[in-house]
Copies of this chain bind each other. A is one copy, B any other.
């Protein structure tokens, strides 16, 4: 009875014959690898560890250092490897050497050739390596796959998110074989359709942090804006107007002024799309309509934005802690003492100033601490060990606490300074004032969502309730019950 279930579930058994595919050999459990480079070696290690018999075919079988491959692997020349009755052949050579195998054409006929190559550059047009291989060997079955797996993953077997093996081919039979083999090796095969998807698969490993590019650009632009604004307001204009030379502030002061502003705005950008989505659901009265794609993208980039915000905040913390180490701080301190002596009085106790500094430091330290917890739960291995309620609690509740503490840190820092005319030289407000606007809006909108009437409606929508039902099936299903539509 166990048997009955397992096998039909494992594979679609309805497709025994493939019009487009030459007959696939079924007899041999042995797998051949052509090529003896790093990838070939690692692939062999993994295949042997998964219980597969492996033959490696190399151009120069005699020159391979002993011990390069596991003992269980048979080494042969290329002709010998593919003629062993194998039916699955990994092409572990650079695609520009494919033509050098033309002599094996008849030996490879009817066999499944797995193209594991990557594209050399990110361009989507043009023939993919796999398609070129299929042209060269029209009598073989070409399957694209395994190029997204690194040699390191093959060897160690330690893999987390990148267990996926993207597979495509024009032959259902060939695809099925590679799917089976990759499952046996501990990977998660993903069917990407016909061979025309090969280009996309070949380009995948070339992409550099595709999910990070947007958030990094946004953060960088924000930094540029605040840095430039601060430069204009605090250095260039005063220099032009009064000839003050404060260019030394470029390296630390100005960076440390811009970083917290960027961190604050970015943190607000993390929570903004969620609010937007909530309002959209409230307005539409259903959760079953898709969000516009820009909102979808934004929602998927929240983690990256949050981590960048944390990075900026942490750097801001370190820069601030460095202040007492700076020569300029020392100079100022000594001169303050000097002036004090000249004036002949002790510096008076400044209750307000003391409270202000204690409060903004407290809020800052605590805000950064909460952000650190958020960053830690973003580590894959930590996040995975939380249940969804814990994850939601950390990412949402702790996130809003961090946002609130950051806003308070900024407001305590600013104190009543924003109400004095000196805060607006050249009619330009201080940058922290600019930075605090969006976070405040986010916080206020969030509070509105917590109002009982809105909260209840939103919860109902998220549980599947819809304000206007276009779908009469539920009400009338007794009519059509047990009828096949």
The answer to whether B5 touches A29 (Cβ under 8 A) is: yes
Interface residues of A in 341-373 (CB under 8 A from B): 341, 346-347, 349-351, 353-359, 361-362, 365, 368-369
Contact check: which of B72, B336, B353 meets A334 at CB < 8 Å?
B336
Q: Quick one: given A79-B480, A160-B158, A365-B315, are A471 and B334 in contact (CB under 8 Å)?
A: no
* CB-contact partner of A181 in B9, B72, B356, B471, under 8 A: B9
User: Are A384 and B161 closer than 8 Å at their CB atoms?
Assistant: yes
User: Once the chains bind, are B9 and A29 in contact (CB under 8 Å)?
Assistant: yes
Task: Note all chain B residues with C-beta closer than 8 A to A12.
Answer: 51, 53
Answer yes or no: A49 CB below 8 A from chain B CBs: yes
Nearest B residue to A289 by beta-carbon distance? B65
Q: How many of these chains are in the complex?
A: 3
Question: Within A158-184, which residues are at the interface with B (CB < 8 Å)?
Answer: 158-164, 173, 176-177, 179-181, 183-184
What's the minimum C-beta distance from A151 to chain B, rounded to whole angstroms? 8
Tell me, rounded to whole Å, the shortest Cβ–Cβ distance linking A357 to chain B: 4
What mask results when residues 457 to 480 of chain A are scored 1 for a CB within 8 Å of chain B, else 0?
Answer: 000000110000011011001101
**A219 at the A/B interface (Cβ < 8 Å)?**
no
Write out, one digit per residue, whether chain A residues 376-417 have a CB within 8 A of any chain B CB (1) or not (0).
000111101111111101000000000000000000000000
Contact partners of A180 in chain B: CB under 8 A:
2, 5-6, 9
Query: Contacts A8-B29, A26-B5 hold; do A152 and B388 have CB atoms under 8 A apart?
Result: yes
In the bound complex, residues from chain B placing their C-beta under 8 Å from that of A330 are: 333, 336
Instruction: Check A208–B321 contact: CB distance below 8 A.
Output: no
**Chain B residues near A349 (CB, 8 Å)?**
331
- How many residues does chain A have at the interface if contact means C-beta atoms less than 8 Å apart? 157
Q: Is the CB of A52 within 8 A of B334?
A: no
* Residue A290 at the chain B interface, CB threshold 8 Å: yes
**Which residues A8-52 have CB closer than 8 A to chain B?**
8-13, 16, 26, 29, 36-37, 49, 51-52
Query: Which 8 residue pairs across A and B have the least CB separation, nearest first?
Result: A60-B471, A103-B481, A381-B381, A2-B11, A150-B388, A8-B29, A160-B384, A327-B357
Given A207-B387, A341-B341, 15 other A-B contacts at CB below 8 A? A2-B180, A6-B180, A59-B473, A60-B474, A62-B471, A63-B471, A76-B485, A93-B464, A97-B464, A148-B387, A162-B384, A248-B354, A326-B354, A337-B338, A379-B381
A-B contact pairs, 8 of them (CB 8 A): A2-B176, A6-B180, A153-B384, A157-B188, A158-B160, A322-B361, A335-B347, A380-B381
